[in-house]
Each structure stands twice: as C-alpha cells, then as structure tokens.
Amino acid sequence: MEAISIEHRFSRNLANEFSQIFFETWAALDENFNAEDFHGVDWPGMRDRYAEHLPYVRTRDDLRRLVNDMLGELNASHTGFSSFGKEEETFYSARTAETGIVFSDDSPLTVERIITKSHPDLTEKAIRPGDKLLSVNGRPVDPTINRNRFFYFADMPEELVLEFSRNGDEFEVVTRPHSHHHISALLYDEWIAENRRYEPPDLSG
C-alpha cells in the first residue's frame, strides 16, 4: 500500500473566530456562573454592551482585553479569560549582542569604561576609555543612527569584530558577545564590589 499525501489550504476569518469565542465565553458563564443573580449584574446587558466593540477587535490581545473587561463586571475572583493562536507566534526574532562596553551618554560611540570581567576586560588588546567605535563586524557605524542597531542580529554571531580609533590610529578587537542576563550579573557584581569598598564618613567629630 502506498501512502496518499493530501494537502488542503484554507483561509481563517479571525473576526468571525473572535466573535464566536466572545459569545461562547459569555454563554459558558451564563449557564455555569455560581451566583444566579450574577452579583446583581445585568449579564445579557453586559453581552450586548461589550459586543458593540467586536468590530474593532483586530488581534487576539484585543479579544483577551475585551472579554476580561466583561468578566470583570461580575466582581468574581479567580475568573479570567485567555486565548492563544498561531497568528501570534513570532516568525522573525532578533537579539542585541551585549559587549561589556559602556559608552558615553554624551558621545554614544565613545567608550566610557569596560565592565569588570566582561570579555573585552579579558581581551589582550585592551579597549580604553576615549576609544571611538568605527564599525561592527565590518559594518561602519553611523553616528546619526541608534548605536544598538549595529549590535542587533537575527542570528547571534559567535564573535564580534569591533573597529576603533585612538589618537588617529585604527585597530580591531575580536571579542565574544554576552547575553543580557550575563551583563546584568556582571553589573550586579560591580555594584556589590563598590559597596564593599565604601567607607562611610566619620561623623564622630
């Protein structure tokens, strides 16, 4: 016997789907709510009131907000609505490569300092305060564009080739990107170390 491959395409009308979900949710509460008087709420009236907003529901998040607002009219604890759909899945994603370099607020391409124990801090060719970033992985940086855009990757590279200028000389540094969580941990370690070094002023005199 040979397997038969069948393929079928169809279109989903999300507006109709959202409307059906809305009314089925209302009906489920209408039949099963634990208080016959609906806590004094005109439940059919709530259905009609909130249904007026259905033509303006464009996303599943809009639907979640609308239905939960309607359920909130009941003043009932542990009552909520959630719905998930394939259309919400992210098709493309990207991440920012954290470097361990802190740039100046006044001059966004100029190095202010290096985070302790980050990859650049452990690199043989040290990056120094005052160095100016020229390119990232061969892509020249544009001072008129947000710097983070040049560290934004769909597929995180294993290495970052950073080109800098210092006193008229240009040089490259090869380093590895950090995750956001790792950088946060290193900054926290710096904060702890700074607190340990802190000596309160002597107020005895």
**CATH code of the domain containing 31:** 3.30.750.44
Q: Is 10 helix (H, G, I), strand (E, B) or coil?
A: coil
Task: Flag whether 5 is in a domain.
Answer: no
pTM: 0.55
pLDDT, position 93: 67
- In 3D space, the residue among 15, 22, 102, 3 whose CA is nearest the CA of residue 58 turns out to be 15
pLDDT per residue as tens digits for the range 58-87: 889 999 999 999 999 999 888 899 988 887
**Residue 9 pLDDT class (50, 70, 90 cuts):** low
pLDDT, position 26: 96
Tell which of 88, 112, 140 closes a domain: 88
The continuous run of DSSP H or E covering 136 comes out as strand 132-136
Q: Are residues 193 and 100 in the same domain?
A: yes
φ/ψ of residue 136, rounded to 5: -125, 115
- 179: domain range? 95-197
CATH label of the domain that carries residue 117: 2.30.42.10
**Residue 198 pLDDT class (50, 70, 90 cuts):** confident
Tell which of 65, 88, 111 closes a domain: 88
83-115: burial string, b at 16+ Cβ within 10 Å, e else: eeeeeeeeeeeeeebbbbbebeeeeebebeebb
Tell which of 88, 109, 129 closes a domain: 88
Task: Flag whether 205 is in a domain.
Answer: no
- In 3D space, the residue among 187, 157, 150 whose CA is nearest the CA of residue 174 turns out to be 157
pLDDT per residue as tens digits for the range 111-164: 999 999 999 998 877 899 999 999 999 999 999 999 998 998 888 899 999 999
pLDDT, position 92: 62
Q: Are residues 106 and 76 in the same domain?
A: no
Q: Are residues 73 and 25 in the same domain?
A: yes
Q: Are residues 161 and 140 in the same domain?
A: yes
**CA end-to-end distance (rounded Å), the chain:** 98
